Structure 1
Amino acid sequence: MMKGVFEMLHQENLNHLEIHYDWRTDKFIFYAARDWDPDTDFSQYNKLFTVFSLRPSSGKYFNSAETESLFAKHNLVSYIEKIKALMRKGRHIFLDCYYSEKLGIRFVNNIHSDKRGLNNLHSSLCMGGIRRHEPDEEELDVFIDGMNLGRAMTFKNAAADLPMGGCKVTVQMKPIDLDNLEQVGFLAYCNDRTRNTAGPDMRFPPDLADVVKAHFSLHFTGGRKGPLGPTGTPTAHGVHIAVKQAARFLWGSESLEGKKIVVQGLGAVGFPLAEDYIHDGAKLVICDVDPAKIAELKEKYPKASIEVVEPSNVLKVEADIFSPCAMGGVLNEDNIPGLKFKIVMGSANNALKASSQEEEYTLADLLAKHGILYQVEWVHNIAGVMAGYEEYVYQEKASMAQLMEKAGKLCKEKTWENLNEAKREGITPTKRAYLVVEREIYGE
């Protein structure tokens, strides 16, 4: 295990670390502990024990000053300062870390804000997906990814009009074995302790939600057996509707017929979005690291105009619209000046390579300077979290038809309003979107 906070937990025989931040006072509070016995069988979560009853026979607990002493003991002071700087920059309130040496799992809920979830009459205060990282990835990079995504979830939940705070779970582990109920039970336990409702994100299969719900907790959504199924299709629908509003704003018509559109990534959202564009009569340029997904789309639509490019060349294409639907951080200050698109709008979280709103504003300004219409994705890639909320609240009574109608209406109205109001105010759509939500989240 590489040097970091989880290595410290490992060396000290601990399994829980909390980092709290009050951005109003710039005060940090730390807590570290052994909250359960190392031989705890998490396949028995919510059977023989719950989040309330699980306690160690021999616990260890460190207050804030004592935890800081542990950081110093393990030469982590400068490392923690980097984490604190990231939390300051994004105004993140809480990093909640859980470690299982036996299962090889490092779990972090990157909680950005609980503001919208307070007094929502539900057991969950936050909503945010759960994403897997490989065990050998740099720990700090995983924290950065989780914090960026958690911050975006705060604003996405606000855009979706959901009474939930924003967070994102990142897990470092090998690919999960869904037959190993101890692994699954541990994830359910950790997630429930953080009062989050999660849906499987990158590198976790949708089936994870089905197994969690069958054995442990109703705070996972988006499984194949759920009432709404995986959330890729409704998310694609919302993005598609938003892109049509961008076309209407720029060209005076929602029609995408004959438009050249680049779709980066044919995953759970990219594939159905590409299908929507094909039905519009658009000319597609696609890329994906999995050749099978490309073959599947071309085989399904043999008469469609589909050009394939290598992923490394996708930003060099000249087209009307670019829809990033893969990993985030694809657009930066180096490649934006060379882009040949009129609209950039897709589903990828954090398409701009930034770790704060100020950095996003700078990159959004750069896109606008080069004549590219761009709106931060959390305004329109909201149908996934809307689906999660619908399933969490209504369970088997949740309706896909109702979800698609809600998501389409919200993405259409909010995108059209945001683009026009941004133009009227003389700022980018990204900055305008943030300013509207900030008044509620931060009181500004």
Structure 2
Amino acid sequence: MRNSVFDLMCEEDLTNLKIQYDWHTGTSCLYAAKEWDEDIDWTQYNKTFTAYHILTPSAHYYGTDDTRALFRKHKIEAYLDQIIAIMASGRNLMEDFYYWKKEDVRFVSNIHSLRRGLNNRLDCVVMGALRRHPREEDEIEMLVDGMNLGRAMAFKNFAGGLPMGGAKCTVQQDELDVNNLANIGFLAYALDRTRDNAGPDMRMPTNMVHPMNQHFTLKFTGDPKGPLGESGTPTAYGSFIASKEAARMVFGSPSWAGKTVAIMGLGAVGFPLAKHYLEEGAKLTVSDISPKAIEKLLTLYPNHSIKVVPTDEIIYQDVDLLAPAAIGGLFSDDNLDKLRAKIIIGPGNNQIKASSPEEEIALARKLAAKGILFQVEWFHNVAGVMCAFEEYLHQEKASKEALYKKIDKICGENTRTNLEEAKRLGITPTERCYKVASEAIYDTKPAWHAV
């Protein structure tokens, strides 16, 4: 058997598997089960059954020793230990696997921390969007991405002032057909079981939100036709506001007029971000894997300064600001010497290639030594989760005016304070971000003291 938790679940006819880790004690715990039959009709979720119903009379369960024995039986116990070691290095709480064998849908809730979500008087205790990974991708790559993003979500929810723990949901499946209510019903079930307020992320269509809400659960937000629209627009605005504070720090003025800005990615976040800089008079350099996105921007702004470069060259441009707005894992020791931007602040997740805050801080120090002002992205790309939380709380009564007032304060004022305090303390902005957030996420005081 290849290294795969889901392949084991398929062979053993399992529907659920949990890997839990306690970083306080260094101990791990395993759980596996068969909780439903293969012919279950997921279109009936929250109609004829809920997340708390008995779904099969033939359910069976495994504890830690028996679950580990299954990994040993299939000769992948070392793979299990590899996953636990990665969880330990990042202080990740749980990898929660849900498997729908009939359509081979492989869902994982990568839960980093519950602490800020405890006693929040809401049904959801964690918050983090749903991202699809290609089937051909190695499972461990999906798990590492999910764990890194789950950790970032724990910090991001703190930075956004939200009473939510941090998680990220990942799934390996075919491209979602929004008319496949069985597929959407299964995803809704898994999200409800993990008590996650989620929304569509990379490779998941935003038009899945409406059928998810209409048929299954209101805990899935980000409907482009909803009261707040797609979350990419406020995310872009928040990153733009944060970058103005960086400009104030470096250039003495918050304006990007006449300055050079490179944006990697012109998707749901990158495109509205580019519009903000162009409308303020910046000179733009852009890249995207989609020629249509580039053509759309050039058509919309025919009289503005826009240079197009290949995607593998964008992060190495000699510019005042580099704003990553696409894939993560961009910056490492391997390419540090080639970076030439004066400021790196953008909305893309996990910009530094790292599996722990310590690794991020180490590279942030090297960026600072090169004279590059960098602030870890989770501190300022929070407007998307703020938007989702606003919609989750208020549903159709959610207000754009109220949301954007909060974004100005959280993304603008907090970034200004962080940059000024980091300078005063003689540390990098990234170190100061982790310093103020760590107590709220990892401290042993009751969780509601940090909300």
TM-score, structure 2 normalization: 0.97
Q: Where in structure 2 are the equivalents of 1:352-371 lying within 5 Å?
A: 352-371=352-371
Q: Where in structure 2 are the equivalents of 1:44-443 lying within 5 Å?
A: 44-443=44-443
Deviation for aligned residue 1:38: 1.0
SS of the counterpart of 1:312? coil
Determine the C-alpha separation between the residues in 1 that align with 2:33 and 2:161.
Answer: 36
Determine the C-alpha separation between the residues in 1 that align with 2:54 and 2:134.
Answer: 28
SS of the counterpart of 2:313? helix
Aligned amino acid, residue 97 of structure 2: C
SS of the counterpart of 2:182? helix
1:61-116 deviation digits (Å, cap 9, x = unpaired): 10111001111111111111111111101111111100011022000000000000
SS of the counterpart of 2:200? coil
SS of the counterpart of 1:49? coil
Determine the C-alpha separation between the residues in 2 that align with 1:96 and 1:226.
Answer: 30
Aligned amino acid, residue 342 of structure 2: K
Asked if structure 2 preserves the Cα contact closer than 8 Å seen for 1:2 and 1:138, the reply is no
1:280-307 deviation digits (Å, cap 9, x = unpaired): 1000000000000000000000001000
Determine the C-alpha separation between the residues in 2 that align with 1:208 and 1:272.
Answer: 22
Tell me what 1:40 maps to.
Answer: 40
Tell me what 2:448 maps to.
Answer: none
Determine the C-alpha separation between the residues in 2 that align with 1:103 and 1:315.
Answer: 39
Deviation for aligned residue 1:228: 1.0
**Which region of structure 1 is more displaced relative to structure 2, 149-158 or 249-258?**
249-258
Determine the C-alpha separation between the residues in 1 that align with 2:262 and 2:2.
Answer: 39
Asked if structure 2 preserves the Cα contact closer than 8 Å seen for 1:262 and 1:285, the reply is yes
| Percent of residue pairs bearing the same amino acid type | 50
Aligned amino acid, residue 428 of structure 1: T
SS of the counterpart of 1:202? coil
Determine the C-alpha separation between the residues in 2 that align with 1:49 and 1:263.
Answer: 47
How many aligned residue pairs are there?
Answer: 444
1:346-405 deviation digits (Å, cap 9, x = unpaired): 000000011111110111011101100000001110000000100000000001121112
Asked if structure 2 preserves the Cα contact closer than 8 Å seen for 1:109 and 1:168, the reply is yes
Determine the C-alpha separation between the residues in 1 that align with 2:225 and 2:282.
Answer: 33
Deviation for aligned residue 1:55: 2.3
TM-score, structure 1 normalization: 0.99
Determine the C-alpha separation between the residues in 2 that align with 1:270 and 1:346.
Answer: 9
SS of the counterpart of 1:286? strand
Deviation for aligned residue 1:208: 1.3
Determine the C-alpha separation between the residues in 2 that align with 1:336 and 1:280.
Answer: 29
1:125-166 deviation digits (Å, cap 9, x = unpaired): 000000000112100000000000000000000000000000
1:297-346 deviation digits (Å, cap 9, x = unpaired): 00000001000001011123211100000000111111111111100000
Asked if structure 1 preserves the Cα contact closer than 8 Å seen for 2:3 and 2:79, the reply is no
SS of the counterpart of 1:226? coil
Deviation for aligned residue 1:2: 4.6
Determine the C-alpha separation between the residues in 1 that align with 2:170 and 2:156.
Answer: 18
Structure 2 stretches lacking a partner, 5+ long: 445-451
Asked if structure 2 preserves the Cα contact closer than 8 Å seen for 1:344 and 1:374, the reply is yes
